[in-house]
A = this chain, B = another copy of it.
């Protein structure tokens, strides 16, 4: 991208922080936001001067394209603080790359790398007090782009808003989850945009998830839309299956998100000599493994939840419990990842990014 902006980031600070009103011991995920936000508008064919401004509401035309045609992509990242008060991100280059991959598929203009990192660094420095030290505490970072053009004709917009908002977080999931394997509904199509972190990939999941919840499951594991014979992803997490001592996970595709946590787990596993088979995973083989006792673990992997153990799954009216493992891969991976994220372990893979 042509612009550089070292001089150009405009910052307007709040006169008074609202941090004193926040109970950091009782945070609901994604409800409270920090004092500032990053905003950059795309008009007249280019991204304008980015700004950091006090966090607050937007003014949107009712005809803004995002309300009608769903051009919206986002990322999920976290900032972690170590015991020295230093702040780290985890592989933010992956999130930056991916938001532009998502954007391209939705015909949204590419966002410049220097705008992204300069804005993010400045924002995290300004709202540094919101990042609490302590294992499990983090600042959840939500970069997103929405189509703002005021006109309801069905084509890609020519005006957008790129924003970064931040929300202090504790751990996302409470306890192990039960999941329902999808038999009828699906999340994405071949040739679609399931691989993108796009708003439209989420809207269709809530109704099937609600139906699953009525059956006592918290989440859905999506299967391929053609046959429903293959495990894909859980919608907000990629999914791993441990059969005996081998990990199975679906390859990324145009239907499956290339998760940062997913690929980091694979790297850690390989280094530790844990065998990972990245290949299409049949539902029937997982059911069989559950029956014969070789299915040791199932877990989701994603930024919000890090690693989220699954304690049971449902499929075709049957319910399969997964026996709790003493030395689970899930806990091993969760600790390994978090130790890197919180600067408690050596950064063998150069994944940490100091703010």
Distance A323 CA – B240 CA, assembled complex (angstroms): 55
Contact A207 B29 (CB under 8 A): no
B-contact 0/1 string along A52-87, CB 8 Å cutoff: 000101111111001111111010000000000000
Q: Are A55 and B66 in contact (CB under 8 A)?
A: no
> What distance in Å separates the Cβ of A78 from its nearest Cβ neighbour in chain B?
13
Query: Which B residues touch A33, using CB under 8 A?
Result: 62-63
A106 touches B152 (CB 8 A): no
Main secondary structure of the interface of A (DSSP, over half): loop
Judge whether B191 and A182 touch: CB under 8 Å.
Answer: yes
Within 8 Å CB of A152, what residues of B?
29-30, 140, 142, 165, 167
Instruction: State the 7 A-B residue pairs at the shortest beta-carbon distance, nearest first.
Output: A200-B200, A70-B199, A189-B189, A186-B191, A30-B152, A189-B225, A107-B206
Q: Is the CB of B107 within 8 A of A207?
A: yes
Contact of A151 among B30, B63, B71, B185 (CB under 8 A): B30
Given contacts A28-B151, A30-B152, A107-B206, list 10 more A-B pairs with CB under 8 A. Answer: A29-B153, A31-B63, A33-B63, A69-B199, A70-B200, A156-B210, A182-B191, A189-B190, A198-B203, A200-B200
- Indicate if the CB atoms of A106 and B193 lie closer than 8 Å: no
**CA gap between A192 and B223 in the complex, in Å:** 12
User: How many copies of this kind of chain does the complex include?
Assistant: 2
- For A67, the closest partner residue in chain B by CB is B146
Q: Mark A188-213, 1 if CB is under 8 A from B, else 0.
A: 11111100001111111011011000
CB distance from A220 to the nearest CB of B (A): 11
> Please, which residue of chain B has its CB at the minimum distance from the CB of A58?
B60
Q: CB distance A210 to B107 under 8 Å?
A: yes
Q: Which residues of A contact B (CB under 8 A)?
A: 28-31, 33, 37, 55, 57-63, 66-72, 74, 104-107, 140, 142, 144, 146, 150-156, 163, 165, 167, 182, 184-193, 198-204, 206-207, 209-210, 225-226, 228, 235-236, 304
Contact in complex: B206, A155 (CB < 8 Å): yes
User: Shortest Cβ distance from A15 into chain B, in angstroms?
Assistant: 20
